[in-house]
Chain A
Amino acid sequence: MVEMILCGRGGQGIVFLTRQLGEIITAKGLGVLSSETHGMAVRGGSINSHLRIGPFSSSLVRQGHADFLLSLDPGETRNNIHYLKPGGLIMENSPEPDETGIRRIDAARLARELGQVQLENVVLLGFASQLDGFPVSAEEIRTQLSKHPKEAVRQMNLRALQAGLEYAA
């Protein structure tokens, strides 16, 4: 059983990441539930998704129960840190150095170097996949992203994944 919070600002692609993870886990034959933010908040407001892998019925992570917090915005990390369980791991899009319990990658910069800051979500996902206990592997993410019907989008996503993997290596 793994529980996770994904957070960021509206427009950063949190829902996209949540869906990719859910589809990968569905393909693995595990039970999975997620909950996402829609409506007015997606106009640049605070956004989070909950993801729960295992025999659950509810789509919401309780405070103090998340194994991972995947954050596209350091300001939003603070808004969601209460979900993290003791010893849980934060993976954050930030130029700052790592700290105990927080692994960081400047995903925005790497994405901008690829020509599109919007790819920062996939860069962060690639990075996260290399950390201990993360529920999906780089290979599974690659297979999932390769399903995108548009060639251009597929190529950009795969390059963003690669950038995240290389940074972790």
Chain B
Amino acid sequence: MGTQDSDLRFLMGNEAIGRGLIEAGCSVAAAYPGTPSSEVLESLVRWKKELDHPIYVEWSVNEKIAFEVAYGASLAGVRSVAIMKMVGLNVASDPFLSAAYLGVRGGLVVVVADDPGPHSSQTEQDSRFFAWFGKVPVLDPGTPAEARDMAVRAFELSEKYQVPVLLRPCLRVCHARQNVALAPPQEPKNVGAFEKNWTRWAATPKFRFVLHGELNEKLANMRKDEPESRPALISKGNGNSRAVITSGSVSSHVRDVIASDERLGSVDVYKVGIPFPADAEALQEIVDSHDETLFVEETYPVLELQLSDRRKVRGRLAGHVPPQGELIPEIVEDLILSLVGEEPAQREAPKVKPRRPSLCAGCPHRPAFFMTRKIFEDAVYTGDIGCYTLGVNMGAVDTCLCMGASIGMAGGFSRISGPDGPAGVVATVGDSTFYHAGVPALINAVHTRAPFVMMIMDNNITAMTGGQPTPAHDYLADGAPGNAVNMEKLVRGCGVDFVEVVDPYDYEALDTVLRKAKSYTFEENKGVSVVITRRACVRAPGVEVSDKKFGIGEDCDLCMSCVRDLECPAIYYVKGEKRMDIDDDSCTGCGFCVHICPVEAIQAKA
């Protein structure tokens, strides 16, 4: 990013959203990282520096807290934003739904990134549908440039109607890049100091009833008065019988597919900017005035469900549009061809064999997983959300549900004993995930004397999402000073007596500590034990990797244990020569493989 205020930049959708937030005079931003949303707050940090803007930015401990921080700032009178991925909104759902009733003071925008596919998520949930459930208006951008515009617009709507407004970009907006025109940032907005009024801001159920009525009225006015609630004609067809109604990132595919094929020139295309609350009567008029109308939206039939008569509709409810998976341009093309009575496009079936992701060479999680399998053979390994979910490749992760679930689920697994029960339970969780949702679960395990071993794989960073700081750092998202929360003290404070810290590269020490934990929890029956395997992520900035290199000698009997059990991506089989080798380009010299080779064939190169 350069230095001028008004120019054209090639920006990622998430950077464009960040720019829009700053341009709208946002004062407080709180987020928890998660693909595909993480770059929004990261870009705010860069815009803050580039523009010398006073915005406060933080990586909150989780999405619920991020929402509450933003909400508090809104009540204090300023424009604020909470940023998360869609499963983060599940975590933040409690304050989100309540805040819709109470309303806001300074504009409050919630940026929630959806992941149709899913590419990097647990679900394909549609945050527009969640917004409807919460009675929160939602804007659905189609391109990075539109996402920037809608970030500004979301604040205007939020203040006009005094409701939180959700901005829902899909991955194809978040991680698309486009040349985007920038405007100079406005001064931070302030609607005036907080005035105490408990019937509003601490409303009891009696007043909630009144507030619910007010919310319904706000939504009705918005549906009637805001142009984006009505379908806008974006492409006028030369026929009158077929229409497409679309919304969000998939609307861009619709636009390009229509423009690229003259057979589709007869179709009228409408786009809805605010899919909830949409002007249902205007939608129905389009449906009624065409022979057939195709709805193309992701991932739920939000617009379709707002119609009263769907008899002339092609969409998800009648089974025309696939009920799961991303609506890629090829699918959109075939849907529109089918609408005008043409055959689907001829395409050769792609022969794709995607390479699976792995923990990096030198990743400190790898030895931790290897040793877990060695010491706790046949145990159930409850896993969690992060890079270390890739422990599945090593057979060291048996479950993955949601943030922090490794610990709660370990509690449940450990209740089943006898021949059908697991031979021990080991929970593995990363440092950032532990802070996010693991702490209450650990307190629960201590209190209930749940017998399992918990391993916190502490690489001192939120690695999967690009390396954001955790509460263990003494600085905040933009480098401002913060207080470091000490993990050992926190674990002890939860009531855990067995807490050991070990360097996972240290084979002997790791072996010893895990055996001690095993004895404490499973033999002496003293309850949960916590082992913190601590070493910095090999990809973290400033982490020096060893320049030691290793080779595989003639003693190798091709047992494949280094590939199967250690799963290091630097070690590979040389086809044709029937031997193993280590790729010097990817090896980071951790040397752990030397210990695990049964015939000691792996050795340091001189």
Interface residues of A (CB under 8 A from B): 9-11, 18-19, 22-23, 25-26, 31-46, 56-60, 62-64, 75-76, 78-79, 81-82, 108, 112, 117
Contacts and interface: CB of A to CB of B under 8 A. Distances in A.
B369 to A, nearest CB: 14
Interface residues of B, number: 49
Interface string B218-250: 000000000000000000000000000000000
Contacts of A23: 10
A5 to B, nearest CB: 12
Nearest to B326: A60
B605 interface: no
The 3 closest A-B pairs by CB, nearest first: A39-B120, A45-B357, A59-B176
Contacts of A26: 8-10, 179
A130 B457 CA distance: 47
A37 B117 CA distance: 13
B354 A46 contact: yes
Contacts of A75: 355
B256 to A, nearest CB: 4
The secondary structure that dominates the A interface is: mixed
B178 A117 contact: no
Contact of A56 (B38, B256, B359, B569): B256
> Which of A25, A45, A59, A76 gathers most chain B CB within 10 Å?
A59
A34 B355 contact: no
Interface stretch (B51-59, B310-318, B328-336): B328-336
A112 B252 CA distance: 41
B36 A39 contact: yes
B358 A43 contact: yes
Given A19-B10, A26-B9, A38-B35, A59 B355 contact: no
A38 B36 contact: yes
Nearest to B85: A39
Contacts of A59: 143, 172, 176-178, 252
The secondary structure that dominates the B interface is: loop
A159 to B, nearest CB: 18
Interface string B328-351: 111001000000000000011111
A38 B176 CA distance: 11
B208 interface: no
A60 B172 contact: yes
Contacts of A58: 172, 252-253, 255-256, 329
Given A57-B256, A59-B177, A79 B353 contact: yes
B188 to A, nearest CB: 29
Given A45-B356, A82-B347, A34 B177 contact: yes
> Which of B142, B387, B389, B464 gathers most chain A CB within 10 Å?
B464
Contacts of B329: 58, 60, 62
Nearest to B463: A43
Given A60-B253, A112-B585, A38 B120 contact: yes
A121 B357 CA distance: 20
B348 A35 contact: no
Given A32-B177, A36-B177, A57-B255, 15 more contacts: A9-B355, A19-B177, A22-B177, A23-B10, A31-B179, A33-B176, A39-B465, A42-B357, A43-B359, A43-B464, A45-B355, A45-B356, A59-B252, A79-B352, A81-B350
B36 A32 contact: no
B342 to A, nearest CB: 16
A22 B10 CA distance: 6
B585 A76 contact: no
Contacts of B119: 37, 39, 41
Contacts of A44: 355, 357-358, 360, 569
Contact of A60 (B179, B328, B352): B328
Contacts of A36: 12, 175-177
14 contacts: A11-B360, A22-B177, A35-B176, A39-B35, A40-B464, A43-B358, A44-B569, A58-B256, A59-B252, A60-B172, A62-B330, A63-B330, A75-B355, A79-B352
B16 to A, nearest CB: 12
Contacts of A62: 257, 329-330, 333
